[in-house]
A and B are shown apart, each in its own frame.
Chain A
């Protein structure tokens, strides 16, 4: 059984016991435990079920590479599935439960899949679900949905908060093992701005566990001294619990810091996403041990040798009383020695190599451990827990020589450098035959904006597995990254001779199918040696295809343990070399990053910027229903009592048409254009002439893209001899300002014109309705009479003591004044107008009333009548296009033959024969069908409303032939029921002569 040893555990604080719960059982751990070590210390080896066959699964690893031991953690708003127990720290009161099983961990119905495993081979999904088509939807999917999925989705909103922060440095070092520390020392001493990130809560990585001796001291002492030295350097930032998740172009790094993951509910952000820009990056990310592929290597109790050593040394947890060690290298002997030193039994070390006579095997033998060279595991015995191993010759086909009882197996198939950060931006790898590993090819690094190397891999990540080589390599890599010549001497580790490993891709070498179909490559996705071999036989030669066909390496661990073993098997099956097969692409993140951290602060009220006008609070106080218009929030209508929105809109319109209403039009874009060439510039920008606009006058104008299509419209006013103010649509302010600057900076840079976006300087209020003038007159301060201020003019002055610019323009068709006032006075003016208008029954009206009134008047709206394919001529706006001008933006575009075609759909009005409202988006039907057998169309509706003024449905739309079709009755499509008959009419439904607005 697994148990907590009475002594040892270098990371534990035994004075701080922590209670926690696993599947309802109260258990005890210590400060310093990971969830994994705490569970193992309580003999919880069985932790979950695999994805496909629901096989029992236990801990395999002790770090980020763990594929099996994922749990549900927390409750309610802090519930999280798929928490990797090996990297999550234990905290008091933690509530854990196992996942992916039903009804219980011990007895799982889904395990029946295991019995049918030979039907669920690689490519099963592809083969099964292609035919018949109906079977997927009705048979397979419901069954698979029931049994698939890792973990449950949280039901409550996340109770925690997250944030992001930015940092910058010359050298970022990922990994706080001895390589990272040595690198930080070199870069720090060179005076560079250094950030050193370590994903775990402690420094030093594996060196203390491996018993390295550095500069004559135990590794732990050297590590403590080095961290203390680094902490004294003001140019070095040290961060633990912070994982560099990905490297992106030009030295951009995303790193996830676990701020309060281990102290839930203390008010700090749970996690923080760092966005770091580094000139150079040092990847000191270490290496991961590989499993061996032998039958039954997935049975709980079979673990990586390094993990077994970690649990014993770091957390004083014995994975088993009797542990068989199986290896193809010397390093695993350290595990046997550590177990023995902890007083545990190691019945045998099975070394697949023909001989094992280096210092470590010799030491093991001297400690009385039986070492069997040339031997292998034929199969592991046991179900939910290892009970023993059957031994065979590695060179043979699995004939059992002997069975040995044990409750744990420590395996080592060699090491793979963690090359993820090297590879994310395109660093290339080479195959190191001697060490049987892919390691960074220093001649083909990822490059940065200057064309120079961006990432320097050092230490184990660079393929150096011994401390003696790691430290100088780290010093050298860091010096190169810092752009300095290596000065001083790197720390020196005591040499430790190790004999070379021998690659072992299947164990035993000649294993028959019965054994190969029980050799797991990918534990989480249940991919076995036999599945990869099958894929190869079926023609999947590319590693990327095999990956997708078998799902090898596609689980949440992203193949950290399985990839190299898998492609080695693939290479063997294809009878080629491993480098010919290559690796799959390494993509960020290195391990999963919480979505909350990626979202950061963008949540709730500050999910996105909501732009608010100076009158916003008034709208909210008066029950406005706010609608999004881009990022702005605008009042759509102001329901009173029990009014529906449409009732409110109708009331607002009738009140404006008969009395007076106020619209908050502050969102309209306002751009100042000034300079000796401003008139000439505006003549290029607008389709009509603006240069001859009189001072004090207003003129409606259209803007087109260079391709000829309408892009914006609005009223332009001339402030003085060389200054104009252009009003744009709400959505157009920033876009049109950028458009102006683009042309001024990049095409007509010798023209003397300046622009300024003053949109937010002013609140703008439309006072519309027959009583509008009376309201303004009551406020007093300036003459707003028809004589001094006729339609399409403006004046500056004061109203109610406030500085204003009053425009006689109208989008409603009524007598209307649009008043601009500095934003800080916006609310005051609005309230003054409301008060002054009370005697006339003044109302606030929203954007929907505005829309309906402009449609009654036949005014077009950007985004309704236009969609990026409509030119002014389509909307009968030829009058706003200058014939005299030699050029304007869009003129040449509009001359293209298909835009000049008489067959284009053009604007007209529509009235249904029965007075009903045409549905939004309806098409005008035409006889016959097109090449695809679809009914022909001859136009579509663009604006359609119920007009409370006219008490019937009104619409505008585009129809082939446009106004020449006047009087025709056409049919609009309806989603349900019969087409709707409507008559083509003039689009101006209200006050065609303009007596009201001109009045």
Chain B
């Protein structure tokens, strides 16, 4: 699709935030690309390199939330770039992977992204689903559920980043708000 002319894309909750024993805020919109390709297709390393990204290993994320790449499955990656750079990045990928079986698609608007910050941010994550926060490796991207919906979580600088589907953004914000409520610390 074409780029928008003079129009600002809005994030699902317009940057909602809450401050309890941890701080929760919706960020975005972020540029996100879902890339499906097998690890061994020609051009994959180059495709990531063309975006200034390193290819992530199993269950890892390279770079940052602002610009990074996450391993989603053996043939799926999540590429994070600034929202305005998505179509450029898609063009780069198409170029680098030309002739290789792959699928790269813009999913920036399909997602909601939250930051959970503060010393006790991990306790908020521990209330969401069966994620062992204590044994989450550095740069580990864990896909699981946040209560009743799918979510992906990773630790980053002062807290955690959580990605879920856009339609349930308000639900997830409600979960995070309840989980971070003052007095509801786990320890």
A: residues with CB less than 8 A from B are 161, 163-168, 193, 237, 260, 266-269, 272, 275, 277, 601-602, 605-606, 608-614, 632, 672, 674-676, 723, 752, 754-756, 758-762, 796-798, 801-805, 822-825, 827-828
- Whether B49 is near chain A, meaning CB under 8 Å from some CB there, is no
The residue of chain A having its C-beta at the shortest distance from the C-beta of B125 within the complex is A166
Report B91-138 residues with CB < 8 Å from chain A CB.
101-103, 105-111, 123, 126-132, 134-135
How far is the CB of A22 from the nearest CB of chain B, in Å? 29
Q: Which of A756, A762, A796 counts the most B-chain CB atoms under 10 A from its CB?
A: A756
| Shortest Cβ gap from A361 to chain B (Å) | 48
CB-nearest residue of chain A to B1: A803
Known contacts: A168-B134, A610-B170. The answer to whether A824 contacts B103 by CB under 8 A is: no
**Cα(A277)–Cα(B1), bound, Å:** 46
Inter-chain contact B103/A761, CB cutoff 8 Å: no
Nearest neighbor of B144 in chain A, beta-carbon distance: A166
B127 touches A761 (CB 8 A): no
Measured CB to CB, the closest approach of chain B to A258, in angstroms, equals: 14
Within 8 A of A (CB), among B166-187: 166-171, 174-175, 178-179, 181-184, 186-187
Interface size class of B (residues with CB under 8 A): 35 or more
Asked if A805 contacts B1 (CB within 8 A), the reply is yes
The answer to whether B7 and A825 have CB atoms under 8 Å apart is: yes
CB-based contact A801/B165 at 8 Å: no
CB-based contact B171/A609 at 8 Å: yes
Task: Tell me the nearest residue of chain A to B169, going by C-beta.
Answer: A612
| Chain A residue at minimal CB-CB distance from B2 | A803
A754-B102, A802-B4 given; A163·B127 CB < 8 A: yes
Which of chain B's residues have a CB closer than 8 A to the CB of A632?
167
B residues in contact with A805, CB < 8 Å? 1
| A754 touching B10 in the complex, CB below 8 Å, given contacts A164-B127, A606-B175, A761-B110 | no
Report whether B168 and A796 are in contact in the complex, using a CB–CB cutoff of 8 Å.
no
Q: Please indicate the chain B residues that have their CB under 8 angstroms from the CB of A167 in the complex.
A: 126
A804's partner among B1, B128, B130, B187 (CB-CB below 8 A) is: B1
Closest to B132 in A: A168
Name the one of A193, A804, A822 contacting B9, with C-beta atoms under 8 angstroms.
Answer: A822
Cα(A822)–Cα(B9), bound, Å: 8
Contact yes or no, B4 A606, CB < 8 A:
no
8 contacts between A and B (CB under 8 A): A166-B129, A166-B131, A268-B184, A277-B132, A675-B103, A754-B36, A756-B105, A824-B9
Closest 3 CB pairs of A and B: A824-B9, A611-B167, A754-B103
Q: Are A609 and B168 in contact (CB under 8 A)?
A: yes
A802 to B2, CA, bound (A): 8
Taking a contact as CB atoms under 8 Å apart, the answer to whether B109 and A761 are in contact is yes
Q: Smallest CB–CB gap between B116 and chain A, Å?
A: 14
In the complex, which of the residues B101, B168, B182 contacts A752, with contact meaning CB atoms closer than 8 Å? B101
What B residues does A758 contact at CB under 8 A?
A: 105, 107, 110
Q: Is the interface of B mostly helix, strand, loop or mixed?
A: loop
Contacts of B183 in A (CB 8 A): 260, 266-269
Contact across chains for A823 and B103 when beta carbons are under 8 A apart: no
Residues of A within 8 Å of B181, CB to CB, are 161, 267, 269
Task: Kindly state whether residue B149 has any CB partner on chain A within 8 Å.
Answer: yes
A760 and B109 contact, CB distance less than 8 A: yes
Residues of B within 8 A of A (CB): 1-7, 9-12, 29, 34, 36-37, 75, 101-103, 105-111, 123, 126-132, 134-135, 147-149, 165-171, 174-175, 178-179, 181-184, 186-187
* Nearest residue, chain B, Cβ from A252: B130
Nearest-neighbour CB distance to chain B for A642, whole angstroms, equals 30
Given contacts A166-B130, A606-B178, A796-B1, contact A801 B29 (CB under 8 A): no
With known contacts A802-B7, A803-B1, A675–B101 Cβ distance under 8 A:
yes
Q: Contact between A168 and B1 (Cβ–Cβ < 8 Å)?
A: no
Tell whether, in the assembled complex, residue B9 and residue A825 are in contact, meaning their CB atoms are under 8 Å apart: yes
The distance from the CB of A752 to the nearest CB of chain B, in whole angstroms, is 5
CB-CB under 8 A for A612 and B170, given A161-B178, A756-B34, A761-B110: yes
From B101, B107, B128, B171, A761 is in contact (CB under 8 Å) with: B107
Most chain A CB within 10 A, of B1, B105, B147, B181, is at B1
C-alpha spacing A752/B102, complex, angstroms: 9
Give Cα distance in the complex from A24 to B169, angstroms: 49
Residues on A with beta carbons closer than 8 Å to the beta carbon of B148: 602, 608-609
Q: Which residues of A contact B1 (CB under 8 A)?
A: 796, 803-805, 822
Nearest residue in A to B36 (C-beta to C-beta)?
A754
A675-B101, A824-B11, A825-B9 as given contacts; A614 in contact with B166, CB under 8 Å: yes
A58 to B168: give the CA distance in the assembly, Å: 52
Query: Is the beta-carbon distance between B175 and A801 smaller than 8 angstroms?
Result: no
What CA separation (Å) do A167 and B122 show in the bound complex?
12
Q: A163-B178, A613-B167 are in contact. Are A796 and B2 (CB under 8 A)?
A: yes
Pair A606/B110 contact, Cβ less than 8 Å: no
Known: A163-B178, A166-B129. A269 touches B167 (CB 8 A): no
User: Which B residues lie within 8 Å of A754 (CB)?
Assistant: 36-37, 75, 101-103
A828 touches B167 (CB 8 A): no
Give complex CA distance A142, B167 in Å: 49
A723 contacts across to B, CB distance below 8 A: 103
Contacts of B175 in A (CB 8 A): 601, 606
A166 near B127 with CB under 8 A, answer yes
Q: Do B147 and A606 touch (CB < 8 A)?
A: yes
Task: Name the CB-closest residue of A to B10.
Answer: A824
A275 neighbours in B (Cβ, 8 Å): 130
Shortest A648–chain B CB gap in Å is: 25
Shortest Cβ gap from A389 to chain B (Å): 51
Residue of A272, A823, A824 with highest tally of chain B CB at under 10 A: A824
List A contacts of B129 (CB < 8 A): 166
Whether A269 and B29, one on each chain, are in contact in the complex, defined by CB atoms closer than 8 angstroms, is no
The smallest beta-carbon distance between A332 and chain B, in angstroms, is: 41
Chain B residues with Cβ below 8 Å from A601 are: 127, 147, 175, 178-179
Contacting pair B105 A165 (CB below 8 A):
no
Taken together as a complex, chains A and B put the C-alpha atoms of A804 and B135 apart, in Å, by 44
A269 to B20, CA, bound (A): 14
Is there contact, CB below 8 Å, between A163 and B184?
yes
A164 to B178, CA, bound (A): 11
Shortest Cβ distance from residue A720 to the other chain B in the assembled complex, whole angstroms: 11
Cβ–Cβ < 8 Å partners of A761 in chain B: 105-110
Q: Which chain B residues lie closer than 8 Å to A796 at the CB level?
A: 1-2
Query: Which among A602, A613, A803, A827 is the interface contact of B147 at CB below 8 angstroms?
Result: A602
Bound: A758/B75 CA distance, A? 17
Bound-complex Cα distance A913 to B111 (A): 52
Whether B109 contacts A798 by the Cβ 8 Å rule is no
Q: A606-B174, A609-B148 are in contact. Are A823 and B130 (CB under 8 A)?
A: no
Complex Cα distance, B123 from A163, in Å, reads 12
9 extra interface residue pairs, beta carbon distance < 8 Å, beyond A608-B171, A760-B165, A796-B2: A163-B178, A168-B134, A269-B183, A601-B147, A609-B148, A756-B36, A756-B105, A798-B5, A801-B6
Distance, CA A824 to CA B15, complexed state (A)? 13
Alpha-carbon distance between A774 and B107 when the two chains are bound, in angstroms? 31
